[in-house]
Amino acid sequence: MSVHTAINTAAAPAAVGPYSQARMAGSWLYVSGQLPIDPATGTMVSGSIADRAEQIFHNIEAIVAAAGGRVEDIVKITLFLTDLSDFGQVNEAYARFFQEPYPARSTIGVAALPLGSNIEAEAVAWVAPTTDQEAP
């Protein structure tokens, strides 16, 4: 995979705007903000904030896998919540999905998110180089 390669997979929801699901820059993968959209139906999942967070984490996992990585390669997650009182439930879902050592994380309270979602997350991963890449 060459430097600055766009990553797109049908295993995660299509971008809702003019952007890639992710971009590779060397071995670094930058995953665009993901909403709790089920890629099979193209609709946002219903249920608890934890259910929605888990869908987002699965979407991120699918994008990282499309770049040749694994969940363990994720080094940073940024969460965006429209209601910070949901932090505890999202934190529980995060702890169930990710394993120690957990990725670094920030959680930011925002006024609104695309498509009326109450949660969004973006990620950064380091994907081991293939034979045509060099390690940083």
Q: Report the mean per-residue pLDDT for the chain.
A: 93
Instruction: Give the model confidence (pLDDT) of 40-91 as tens digits.
Output: 999 999 999 999 999 999 999 999 999 999 999 999 999 999 999 999 999 9
Residue 108 in domain: yes
Backbone torsion region of residue 50, taken as left when φ is above 0, otherwise alpha when ψ lies between -120 and 50, otherwise beta: alpha
Number of domains the chain is built from: 1
Residue 37 in domain: yes
Residue 135 in domain: no
Residue 26 in domain: yes
What's the Cα-to-Cα distance from 104 to each of 21, 25, 86, 129, rounded to whole Å? 21, 20, 19, 21
Q: Find how far residue 23's CA is from the centre of its chain.
A: 12
Residue 134 in domain: no
Q: What is the pLDDT of residue 4?
A: 82
Q: What is the pTM of this model?
A: 0.92
Q: What is the pLDDT of residue 121?
A: 98
pLDDT at 134 over 60: no
Residue 11 in domain: yes
Q: Which domain holds residue 10?
A: 5-126
The CATH number linked to 112 is 3.30.1330.40
